[in-house]
A and B are shown apart, each in its own frame.
Chain A
């Protein structure tokens, strides 16, 4: 039985990743058949309960856990739970993340700190603690949800871009350390994807960016989930960041 962990999997892109995996279960695709899903959320209990009920109805083995990346003790408790319950992890999909947008010169230190704690340190702490469980699986995948902002920067998102750039760097560092142990480590960098994170924004903040992309419109969570799913199969893609940004023209 394989164990796949999806952080922040109860809504947005994470939810689309879960849906994608479930769809593959139903098709009985070997890579995801015989797989157990461990999905985390931070505070959205209603969405977590809804997902749990849906998966139960489908007869899918799922374990929905609360975990706050910004709280090291919560991260440690989650890893202990996985260790005691499953003893290994075949895939870790580090999707959970947040943003605080605005002019950097006017941004409060606390807003910068919460981004570093959640997106960067929280993700790194979780992954570092998960390494023995990933090694235990013999062959494993680690996927990081970076951002196009972390690849080419973004006005109004200086600290967010910093944390996502840092995550790209961390994926390279992790691959350097564990690439020879059949650990497949990559990052995905979405552009504008229609989730709660962006639909609340004033369109003036992103319309020009969409106009500068080859495709010219926003992506869907499923577009990102497709790429994540393809990275779950071990192959020759390693320490790479795949942009899913509709062909943004820099």
Chain B
């Protein structure tokens, strides 16, 4: 059984990919073009695989790389809206084709990787509240529909790893978030990937439709 990464540019999927490969898992990567609907590529890929009677077990859909809604909407709302529509259409289709593929294989897991958008209040990091909330609602909904096929669908809502943010920025965040939540503890990307790998390796996965927070400190995924 092998795993698929739909986009893997971010440092988190890269690190996870390396760990999975080092552990002997066969991993495939589909990089989708940035400014066009790449869902047809995903569909063709699954069709080809199904025709060969081969199926994935874990499908990772990476949404941690390449966009920052807060910055984009502030700069040019019209272009930001076009990109948003493209992205959500692509994500929904990827979830649909991925679920259909895994359903044919008697089950499997889909994992969506997102950066926790509210961390951006404290740490200079991408903030994608629209995509995140949309994708979370999509995952919670679709998980209910495909559970009977033994397909589980979950979101990892991840605080940006230590490596992606400057030290000063982390220090400021620690100071400003003293009161309500735990202080941020910057996590090396390797540690984040280790947690994700642990989930992937679970023989019996008892979570679906879940929003799994990864990180410490006050932010959307930890409240």
Chain A interfacial positions (CB closer than 8 Å to B) = 103-105, 109, 112-113, 116-117, 120-121, 124-125, 128, 149-159, 161-166, 168-170, 172-173, 176-177
Contact = CB atoms under 8 A, between A and B. Distances in A.
Interface of B: 69-70, 73-74, 77-78, 81, 84-85, 88-89, 92-93, 96, 99-100, 103, 117-118, 121, 127-146, 209
A120 to B, nearest CB: 7
Contacts, number: 122
A166 B142 CA distance: 16
B103 to A, nearest CB: 8
B60 to A, nearest CB: 19
Given A169-B117, A169-B134, A173-B130, 11 more contacts: A120-B134, A128-B73, A154-B141, A159-B92, A161-B138, A163-B134, A165-B138, A166-B133, A170-B129, A172-B118, A173-B73
Contact of B130 (A104, A169, A177): A169
Given A112-B89, A128-B77, A103 B137 contact: no
Contacts of B78: 128
Given A169-B130, A169-B131, A104 B145 contact: yes
A92 to B, nearest CB: 15
B133 A172 contact: yes
Contacts of A156: 145
Nearest to B209: A153
A116 B145 CA distance: 20
Given A149-B141, A155-B144, A162-B134, A105 B70 contact: no
Given A103-B145, A105-B99, A120 B88 contact: yes
